[in-house]
Amino acid sequence: MASLGAQLHAERVSQIADQLSQLEVKLKELASKYKEQIVRDPVLRARFRQFADTLGVDLLSSSTNVFSKSLGFGDYYYDLGGRIVEICMKERQFAGALVPMSNVLIHLRKLGLQVAEADVMTALDKLTVLGAGYDVVTIRNEKYIQTVPGGVHRQDIVQILNFAKQQQESTKSLPFVTAAQVEKRFVWKPHRVKAAFEQLLRDSTVWLQSTPGQEDSFWFLSFIESPGG
């Protein structure tokens, strides 16, 4: 029985391998036939990549990959990554260290590039070879590109960012908070709040406004719509 079971298992594995091989051939045919549409249409591109992922096919790997050759996906995303970096560097003067994903998409589309959020995420992932930075942070259901390495992933800072965004949304006011507000909201000791804001200042994520006789205000530039957005 054990021998029969092993034989049936081997046959089943062989059948699955044959089916996957046939699907990969079909995938290559689609890549060749619809190359222009796939590269031009972000929705079609996403669906094609999802189909490839289910087959375990890496569309973005080295030049030895037939899909990388036929579609140029590897070069496409490296080029897109370079454009994203340029946009983020320009946007930092308005947004600080966290650049809204929506602003980046607007600028890319102004350049005539038909891209979706998934394309930006893939391009940023390709840039990881350059080192830290260019991660994506989600704040109140909105995505921001982190243009500097460092403390934004610390839980304290993430909570402050979400609190500041929530304050802006609920009060319909400009995005700033004070240390006292943060201390009260999270029941933190002053030294803990101070450490978090010092990190935010080092990263250029906040701008400090000091007014004689008033408590310091920490402004979140990333939550203010830039002229380009």
For the chain, the domains span 2-58, 75-146, 151-223
Average pLDDT over residues 103-111: 93
Average pLDDT over residues 10-31: 58
The whole-angstrom distance between residue 28's C-alpha and the CA centroid of its chain comes to 28
Neighbouring CB atoms inside 10 A of 81's CB total 21
* Tens-digit pLDDT profile for residues 157-188: 889 999 999 988 888 878 899 999 999 999 99
Lowest mean pLDDT among 8-22, 42-56, 117-131, 207-221: 8-22
Nearest-10 Cα torsion for 116, 90, 217, 181: 20
Question: What is the pLDDT of the chain when averaged over all its residues?
Answer: 77
Residues comprising the chain, all counted: 229
In terms of pLDDT, which residue wins out, 65 or 204? 204
Q: Report whether pLDDT(55) > 70.
A: no
pTM over the 0.75 mark:
no
Task: Please name the fold of domain 151-223.
Answer: Arc Repressor Mutant, subunit A (1.10.10)
Domains 75-146 and 151-223 alike in fold: yes
Task: Please name the fold of domain 75-146.
Answer: Arc Repressor Mutant, subunit A (1.10.10)
Q: What residues form DSSP beta bridges with 136?
A: 145
**pLDDT for res 160:** 92
Asked whether the beta carbons of 146 and 131 are under 8 A apart, the reply is no
Lowest mean pLDDT among 59-63, 148-152, 169-173: 59-63
Cα(34)–Cα(31) distance, integer angstroms = 6
Name the maximum alpha-carbon separation found in the chain: 87
**pLDDT for res 9:** 47
Cα(216)–Cα(193) distance, integer angstroms = 13
Three-class DSSP labels, 141-183: CEEEEECCCCHHHCHHHHHHHHHHHHHHHHHCCCCEECHHHHH
* Tens-digit pLDDT profile for residues 84-103: 989 998 888 788 888 999 99
Q: Report whether pLDDT(226) > 60.
A: no
Q: Report whether pLDDT(200) > 60.
A: yes
The whole-angstrom distance between residue 97's C-alpha and the CA centroid of its chain comes to 14
Cα(115)–Cα(190) distance, integer angstroms = 44
